[in-house]
Structure 1
Amino acid sequence: MTLNLKNPLAFFDLEATGIDTIKDRIVEISIVKLMPNGEKEVHTHKINPTVPIPEITTKIHGISDEDVKDAPTFKQMAKTFANILKGCDLAGFNIMRFDVPMLVEEFLRAGVDFDISNRKLVDLQRIYHMMEPRTLSAAYKFYCNLELEGAHSAEVDTMACVGILEEQVRRYENQEHKDTFGTVTIPVKNDMEALHNLSFSNRIDLAGRMVYNDKKEAVFAFGKHKDKKIEDVLLKESSYYDWIMKNDFPLNTKQELTRIKLKMSMLNK
């Protein structure tokens, strides 16, 4: 199965010190860049997180403080990674909940603008859980009929993702799906726009603190202003913006809220 690509598609996987995108840091990144002509580039790098790797986390991915003590920091590699990913759409397993938010946070901390607004984002887990609920190793066994040897190695996991998405598209392309409300759609197509819409859903920021409602209005998805239009909240309670900016929210959430605020200011001139 050949994926229908207009742009390079970068499959990627991160190993980190933990799963908190604010406090934790990347320790390994692997990128498999699939070109529209079918060629592949593989880039795998250990990263010095500049913070200790918890022992319990090392037991999961096998990377210790000793393994990364001489590795470059993400800040030192940020421009290199941005160049590798330039013009690429992004794909991977569970990337919307962890990998993309973590990667964007690291770029923001490094002072490198990594804009995902014009990229297609394809989450294999979203497709998999919709059509065949399971895990990455089970997905690889199910779709590729192979055992995933060395799971939790970034490169092994990333290479597995390439085979899984190709098989998912081959298997589910143009297949009808009925959701819990009885609505029938054809969600899986050999088209990055369709796969992006399936994966990214209605989020405005990567953490899902702000979303689009059924009317395509930007609303808050948490706290005392949950389900309220962001523009209305900022107009009536401008201090709420300041509260978010001063507190422990992801940098990406603050960035997207600032974009909304600036857009409001321009429209009200």
Structure 2
Amino acid sequence: MILKLKNPLSFFDLETTGINIVADRIVEISIVKVMVNGEVIKKTQRINPTIPIPTESSLIHGIYDEDIKDAPTFKSMAKEFAKFLEGSDLAGFNVLKFDIPVLVEEFLRADIDFDTSNRKVVDVQRIFHMMEKRNLSSAYKFYCDKNLENAHSAEADTIATMEILEAQVQKYDGMDVTDMKGNKLGIIENNIDTLHLLTNKNMVDLAGRMVFNSDGEEVFNFGKHRNKKVSEIFQKEPSYYDWMMKGDFPLETKKRLTEIKLRGFNSK
């Protein structure tokens, strides 16, 4: 099926240093511009973000500091990108929540007002979520081919969840689990230890404020210290621990914070 277009439609995707819209930067941008006549024009460019790329981000997209040290900065190419996107509507996967805000931030830092208010924007992820529901009832129908009666009744939901897990293990037993880049994360087995590791692979606290990095070290997963080791921050900035303990964080998160702080104190 050929898309019916009134304006060129530019599909685009960003690889970035992280997921903070304000603080993080683009390391790669790829644009596939579909013209009204069906012609497709591609433009992909590695970008020097001018800040270090955290290892956790590099492990996801495969781009390391060494790979972009000689690449142009976004500011040096901003006018070229703006010209390429001129008069074009926009499309992508999860672009409304992430890619477009990041792109606009980069343009503004380069003193270019990239106005999206006069462009049509299509977020493919939203259509996916609207048409393919991701709730318990749809999972029950998909895996068990049953309609969930009395949905949101605690007992009915619990029984359905049990049946879904049994069906998942039967359907995927022995299959590899990979991330979005094809890196193997593990394997589905009829083994609770294995399933636990897959579904809780890098969590430190239940709220997700801290995660394990690729070296098994606790790092912050939010705020100004995102991707930085918790123990190192507590050494360099002890007040940060006090701020979190007084802040509106779950008690379980505070418990984990205290365990890490005490571990560091006892090791001295």
- For normalisation by structure 2, the TM-score amounts to 0.50
1:83 is the counterpart of 2:94: no
- Report SS of the residue matched to 1:50: coil
> 1:115: Cα distance to partner?
1.1
Deviations 1:59-115 (A, max 9, x none): 000000000000000000100000010000000000001000000000001101211
Tell me the C-alpha RMSD between the 2 structures.
1.8
1:21 is the counterpart of 2:16: no
Q: What is the count of residue pairs matched by the alignment?
A: 139
Partners of 1:92 and 1:46 in 2: CA distance? 18
1:123 is the counterpart of 2:123: yes
Partner of 2:186: none
Partner AA of 1:120 in structure 2: K
> 1:18: Cα distance to partner?
0.3
Partner of 1:215: none
Partner AA of 2:21 in structure 1: T
Output aligned runs, 1:71-220, within 5 Å.
71-133=71-133, 151=180
Deviations 1:14-67 (A, max 9, x none): 000001111000000000000011110000000000000000000000000000
In structure 2, runs of 5+ residues without a counterpart are 135-177, 183-268
Partners of 2:72 and 2:109 in 1: CA distance? 15
- Report SS of the residue matched to 1:19: coil
In structure 1, runs of 5+ residues without a counterpart are 135-148, 154-269
- Report SS of the residue matched to 1:29: strand
Partner of 2:63: 63
Partner of 1:45: 45
Partners of 1:62 and 1:33 in 2: CA distance? 24
User: Which structure is higher in RCO with an 8 Å CA cutoff and minimum separation 6?
Assistant: 1
The runs of at least 4 aligned residues of structure 1 exceeding 6 Å deviation read none
Mark the structure with the bigger radius of gyration: 2
- Report SS of the residue matched to 1:113: coil
Partners of 2:13 and 2:129 in 1: CA distance? 18
